[in-house]
Structure 1
């Protein structure tokens, strides 16, 4: 459930969230980041970049450009690892485009100050300096987080909350028949993360601090239709409504008067085209937005405790996540797996927040 609203000076406000984000931007990562920039109660402490959808330098460039567009250029963008723990990096230009954000383009404003900082060291120092205050959103392969847990095994106790977008349980994978993309890119890292939380649970870690896992079982319920962009442009008050149709030539670019609408439309159009190529229809599964809403405390969801592990040996099932909901392994729960959510309410929330941000950016330009 969303975190309760609190009253301040007669107005309702969301409780403040201090957020560390690790992503591999990525079209749905970009949508999620724009959404979080639109949440006034969310303070993004840092954005760490992990290789996945594209290489890590491109991820960082995408993050810097989008933060600048969304009016958050002060957020440090950090780089950690450049490869998975044990296997070669595989990127996915066919899914997200050669630069990771579909047909969208933005100039990279660069921010060399943050590029000298190591992402993993930053996480550990921030968690130690702010025990119980930081929420972590992981919408990329878990490589950086696995290495952070190696260096600081007390992280599960030091962090306020951890949200992971990854895995597929009683659901088809989107990379292999059983494996989800983020986990498949670095299954050894994911296995380490869940093993670390098993060890923490055995040492008495409170269940409220177990990672909340947003797997394909529920993220693919966030199935965006092209008319979302029309609704967004109307919410923004654009001079002309944004119309994206399946009959448009591939690669058609937005002419919207609003730069944020234009950027998101060009990115998401590529995603619609990709899903159609794989016979899923002219739609887009925006996995990372849902995980962002969980981290921000703004979206409805329900969870079940489970013991999660990852297959790293079998060629047939490589990268597959397995959840023991019944305790058959005799191990304590190491995750809270999301089992229900509300996409209709989530998309209404997304339109409202992005619309307000886009209007604000236009006023300030």
Structure 2
């Protein structure tokens, strides 16, 4: 059993990551917290509650922490993830309620009560995690593992020419988080899934079709580039229908920006790294984040060669296996969709 603290900004690819973890038989969601990013924090929390319930995981405590980045105004991305963050999908109203507790306090409380047991997965800007580290500097020692989706190194950014979205939303938080890991033991350093490898996770219409087949859906799920934009799924499987509607929006967005009719499912890959189910390799590096330059704000820089003379503070993923990852995704989420209908 792997017990998770998750921090998300749900988000189409966050939704796929949550569905994937929910599909694994040995997953315990200790709590899921909401950071503003793709949408505002309140919408993130509602999306997360609804999605967990769709995936057969009701009763998970979902809490909100920060409602804006540490030092700069909040920027959201409806053009990428849709006005509610889930593309064309319209999630049912969740029966559960957002927790009244503070996300940062929850992380610290759980980490203290279960030292060395919890895996942290952060697929959002690092705002809540930075605030938690301010209040409990021992958090890196208390957590079993930390996996972060964010940054880009030898790779073009997806928000500015040099900056990845999560880091660009709150660069000051990211800078604090990486600084907090300087001098930590190697096995405690965060595993960083950057665009260098997450953009190799290209989900295509064929994967959606395979997912519906694996779920036992009667109606073939055909999300095709020649169909009208915004066409809604008619799948007889509820989870397939919602994921398909979300992914269609993501396909359309990527095509609009000349990347093809596909979706980069960054957060699913990070979830698989956290779960230990996806193949990857990683290299130690000293990571820092630019916060002052208007031209380069949000840029992540990795020193792999020790040129700064500063100990590594991260393990940056350098290789992965997309074919294995999508085979695993189709099998696991297809089985979950079959179980929940």
Q: Give TM class, smaller chain.
A: over 0.9
Task: Give 3-state SS (helix, strand or coil) of 2:233's partner.
Answer: coil
Q: What is residue 308 of structure 2 aligned with on the other side?
A: 329
Deviations 1:95-137 (A, max 9, x none): 000000000011222533x521110001001101101000000
**Alignment partner of 2:292 out of 310, 313, 336:** 313
SS in 1 for 2:53: helix
Q: State the partner residue of 2:167.
A: 183
Query: How many residue pairs were aligned?
Result: 341
Which residue, out of 276, 279, 296, partners 1:300? 279
Is the contact between residue 219 and residue 234 of structure 2 (CA under 8 Å) also seen in structure 1? no
Structure 1 residue aligned with 2:39: 54
The answer to whether structure 1 residue 72 and structure 2 residue 70 are counterparts is no
Q: Which residue of 2 aligns with 1:168?
A: 152
Q: Which residue in 2 is equivalent to 1:213?
A: 192
Check the 8 A contact 1:35/1:353 in 2, yes or no: yes
The question of whether the paired residues in 2 share the 8 Å contact of 1:136 and 1:163 is answered with yes
**Conserved 8 A contact 1:157-1:209:** yes
Give the unaligned 5+ runs of structure 2. Answer: none
Structure 2 match to 1:239: 218
Distance in 2, matches of 1:108 and 1:148, equals 30
1:126 to 87, 90, 110: 110
Alpha-carbon displacement from aligned partner over 1:48-80 (angstroms, at most 9, x marks no partner): 000000000000000010011111111111100
Q: Is the 8 A contact 2:2 2:118 kept in 1?
A: yes
What is the CA–CA distance in structure 2 between the aligned matches of 1:130 and 1:345, rounded to whole Å? 32
2:35 and 2:44 in contact (8 A); partners too: yes
From 17, 20, 25, give the equivalent of 2:2. 17
Counterpart CA distance in 2 for 1:37 and 1:333 is 33
TM-score where L is the length of structure 2: 0.99
The residue correspondences of 1:97-136 to structure 2 (distance < 5 A) are 97-112=82-97, 114-136=98-120
> Whole-Å Cα distance in 2 between the matches of residues 229 and 349 of structure 1?
13
Aligned residue in 2 for 1:12: none
Give the RMSD, CA atoms, in angstroms.
0.7
Partner of 2:204: 225
Q: Does 1:152 align with 2:131?
A: no
